[in-house]
C-alpha cells in the first residue's frame, strides 16, 4: 500500500487543504468554466470532503491520496460547464467531468501521475452520484461521493445516511458555506438538470437527472427508454 508524504498545505474557509500546483490549476479551470454557483458547489464539496479526511485517524490518513481527492472534487462537475468543449452530446455529465479531469492531469500533472492515480480520479468523478457503489470503492472515491452529499444536504441529513463517518461539525460546514454562499442553489441545480434533459435526453433516462425532465420538461418521458421496455420487448416468453 502506497503511503503519501505530507503535502504543503494552506487554509481555505478554515479547512487545511493540500497546496499543489495541480490543485491550483484545477481551481482555475473550474473557476473559468463554471458559473459562480457551480464553482461554489465544487469548492464546498472539496472543503467538506477534505474536512472529513482531516479527521481520519492514522494510518488511514497517510494512505489517502489527498491531491487526487482534491482534483476530483474540484473538477467533478465540469460536465456542467458553460464552455461547451467540456460537455458531450453522448455521455453522462459524470463521465464528461471524469474526462475533463483526466485531460487536465495528462497536460499538467507531471511525473507523479501514473495510470493508477489518473484512473482513481476518473473513477471518483464518474461514480460520484452512484451512491450505492462509491462507498465500496477506494476511499478517495467513497469520500468524494460523501463530501458532495454533505455539502448538498448538510450535516444532519448526511449523518442519517452515513452515520458516524460524518465527522464535520455544523460550525465548520457553516464556515465553508459562508465563504462560498449557497443561496440560489436550488434554482441553479434545477436549471442544470433541466438543461441536460433538453440537451441530451438519452443520457438522462437511466440517471436521477431524468427526474427533472419528468417533472419540468414538456414532452419528456422515459417510457420506451427503460430497461424494462427493452427487455420485455426482446426476451423470449
Ligand X SMILES: *[C@@H]1O[C@H](CO)[C@@H](O)[C@H](O)[C@H]1NC(C)=O
CB of 99 to ligand X, least distance (A): 12
Provide the CA 10 distance to its chain's centre, in angstroms: 22
Helix H or strand E segment including 71? helix 66-75
What is the three-class DSSP state of 178? helix
In the complex with ligand X, the residue whose CB is nearer, 93 or 162, is 93
CB of 66 to ligand X, least distance (A): 14
Query: How far is the C-alpha of 87 from the C-alpha of 107, rounded, in Å?
Result: 19
Q: Hey, which residues does 16 pair with through a beta bridge?
A: 11
Helix H or strand E segment including 17? strand 15-18
In the complex with ligand X, the residue whose CB is nearer, 67 or 134, is 67
In the complex with ligand X, the residue whose CB is nearer, 81 or 127, is 81
Please report, for residues 19, 91, 126, 139, the alpha-carbon distance to residue 120 in angstroms, rounded to integers and kept in the order given. Answer: 19, 19, 10, 10
CB of 84 to ligand X, least distance (A): 8
In the complex with ligand X, the residue whose CB is nearer, 23 or 51, is 23
CB of 91 to ligand X, least distance (A): 16
Q: Which residues lie near ligand X (CB under 6 A)?
A: 19-21, 24, 83, 85
Query: How far is the C-alpha of 29 from the C-alpha of 49, rounded, in Å?
Result: 19
CB of 83 to ligand X, least distance (A): 4
In the complex with ligand X, the residue whose CB is nearer, 84 or 190, is 84
Amino acid at each position: 500500500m502506497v503511503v503519501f508524504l505530507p503535502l504543503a498545505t494552506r487554509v481555505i474557509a478554515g479547512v487545511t487543504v493540500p497546496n499543489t500546483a495541480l490543485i491550483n490549476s484545477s481551481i482555475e479551470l473550474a473557476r473559468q468554466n463554471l458559473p459562480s454557483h457551480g464553482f461554489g458547489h465544487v469548492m464546498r464539496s472539496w472543503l467538506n470532503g477534505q474536512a472529513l479526511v482531516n479527521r481520519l485517524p492514522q494510518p488511514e490518513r497517510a494512505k489517502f491520496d489527498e491531491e487526487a481527492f482534491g482534483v476530483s472534487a474540484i473538477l467533478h462537475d465540469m460536465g456542467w460547464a458553460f464552455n461547451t468543449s467540456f460537455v458531450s452530446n453522448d455521455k453522462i455529465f459524470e463521465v464528461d467531468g471524469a474526462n475533463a479531469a483526466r485531460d487536465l492531469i495528462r497536460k499538467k500533472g507531471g511525473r507523479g501521475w501514473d495510470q493508477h492515480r489518473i484512473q482513481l480520479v476518473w473513477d471518483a468523478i464518474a461514480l460520484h452520484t452512484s451512491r450505492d457503489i462509491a462507498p465500496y470503492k477506494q476511499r478517495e472515491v467513497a469520500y468524494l461521493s460523501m463530501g458532495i452529499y454533505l455539502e448538498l444536504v448538510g450535516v444532519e441529513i448526511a449523518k442519517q445516511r452515513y452515520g458516524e463517518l460524518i465527522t464535520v461539525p455544523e460550525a465548520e460546514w457553516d464556515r465553508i458555506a459562508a465563504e462560498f454562499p449557497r443561496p440560489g442553489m436550488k434554482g441553479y441545480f434545477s436549471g442544470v438538470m433541466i438543461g441536460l434533459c433538453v440537451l441530451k435526453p438519452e443520457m438522462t433516462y437511466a440517471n436521477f437527472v431524468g427526474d427533472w425532465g419528468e417533472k419540468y420538461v414538456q414532452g419528456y418521458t422515459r417510457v420506451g427508454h427503460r430497461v424494462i421496455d427493452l427487455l420485455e420487448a426482446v426476451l423470449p416468453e
